[in-house]
Amino acid sequence: MHDRIAEYLGSLAAEAGLAVHTMAAYRRDLRRAVEFFHARKINDWKQLESQHLAELMAASRADGLAPASQVRLLSSLRGFFRWLRAEDGLEGRDPTRVPGKIHLWQRLPEILTPEESRALLDTPASDTWIGQRDRALLALLYGGGLRVSEAIGLRLGDLHLTRGQDDGTPGLLQVRGKGNKERLVPYGGVARERLHAWLEDGRKTRAGEERLVLLSKTGKGLDRHRAFRIVRDHAVTCGLSAQMHPHILRHSCATHLLIGGGDLRSVQEFLGHADLRTTERYTHLEVEQLQAYHKLHHPRG
């Protein structure tokens, strides 16, 4: 059973262009399933029946697996079985189609207010290389609405900051998002100034042969876990929650764009969402914000 999983993941890596973290999640999900089935004397995928899938999902829920992880587990198995049926010509009913869907409560993204966002971005010191790097990281996450993987994966050749510099129009970032899809992100104002300060000053004290924009103390690229700690530590320093993480800055960027008058399609392109429904989550926050403003300021609110 493990051999077929390895072949499937190999084909995904070659053909689908999935992110490294997505591939790792699929691998964990499928291994979890194999361990569960082996404990029940199921040693061949052909032996699998719908009831076995239902038992796996029930056991995962009882073990405290988060709803989103349960959805991904079932999705991983369904994708694997589609591949298996195509490769091996398995006949009969697909056992993964019976358990049905696991519906999640629609959770609204956490966001910061504009004042909290500015406070966080101003927290790192501007007179040390570490502070300049951290200011650049926070500016990319909020000013560019980047995912943390996109920010730490930026290379010097992806920056086109001099574009429109004389007339004040934004420069551009060439960003590689999920599925290795590329998009151009406008990037100007204070955010561009902070990134430029890092490139022209702090980064030069760390730079070696590495072409990544954000560097660590050793001159290597900044890793994902360190980026999370940077955001959390500065959040605590300025009085925000210790549960702060980089994606909250991306959520905040999207919501503030919509509140400021941005249309849904433009924000979708800016964030690199494949599905407009993902971007639509932020419209709920926009409505709540407008209702709060109305209640606060309208004479009959």
Active site residue 247: yes
Active site residue 250: yes
Residues 4, 52, 183, 247: which is the catalytic one? 247
Active site residue 2: no
Residues 178, 183, 196, 281: which is the catalytic one? 178
Instruction: Give residue for tokens 């900051």.
Output: 161
Residues 72, 206, 250, 251: which is the catalytic one? 250
The residue among 272, 289, 8 whose CA lies nearest residue 147 is 272
Active site residue 147: yes
Residues 72, 133, 147, 251: which is the catalytic one? 147
Question: Would you name the residues annotated as active-site residues?
Answer: 147, 178, 247, 250, 273, 282
